Amino acid sequence: MSDTLPGRPPALPVTFRPSRTRAVLHSAGIALLVVITLVALLLEQLSPGERISFVFTAALLAGVLFLLARPKVVADEAGVTVVNIVSRRRLEWAEILQVNLRPGDPWVFLDLSDGTSLPALGIQPGIAKQRAIADARALRALVEERSRPGHGTPQG
């Protein structure tokens, strides 16, 4: 997220994602793939099929870690795209009623106009709590600004 003045929403487009968590997951996935592949190559008693199964298993595990690193929330002029682990949902600004990040919540929840709540895993306080709070506030400010009538016109 780009830095903004306190109380003012960030400039659009803006992407919110758990950068530290993402870096840890990507690093762990790559390390896991490298280490297991090296073990498969160094163990002389393994057959070629067993070596391939080691590498395949490592790739599968790394793929899971990469999927866990996928979440993000992208806000642009037209609305918000929430990308979670295996799903993606596009929302118009008017569909979002409230942005919630309560103490103890694992990530932000968006209260929607259809009465449902959508988890937005792209803003999560896991490793970087203060960053998640700032991102949730920024998204909340954007929702409040964009849900006002005539949000595209200058306010006098």
CA nearest 65: which of 123, 25, 17? 25
Residue 152 has pLDDT above 50, yes or no: yes
Residue 156 has pLDDT above 70, yes or no: no
Write out pLDDT tens, residues 36-48.
999 999 999 999 9
Residue 61 has pLDDT above 70, yes or no: yes
Rounded mean pLDDT, 51-73: 97
When pLDDT is cut at 50, 70 and 90, the band that residue 2 belongs to is: very low
Is the CB of residue 146 less than 8 Å from the CB of residue 98? no
What does the mean pLDDT of the chain come to? 91
3-class DSSP string for 47-68: CHHHHHHHHHHHHHHHHHHHHH
Write out pLDDT tens, residues 94-110.
999 999 999 999 999 99
When pLDDT is cut at 50, 70 and 90, the band that residue 155 belongs to is: very low
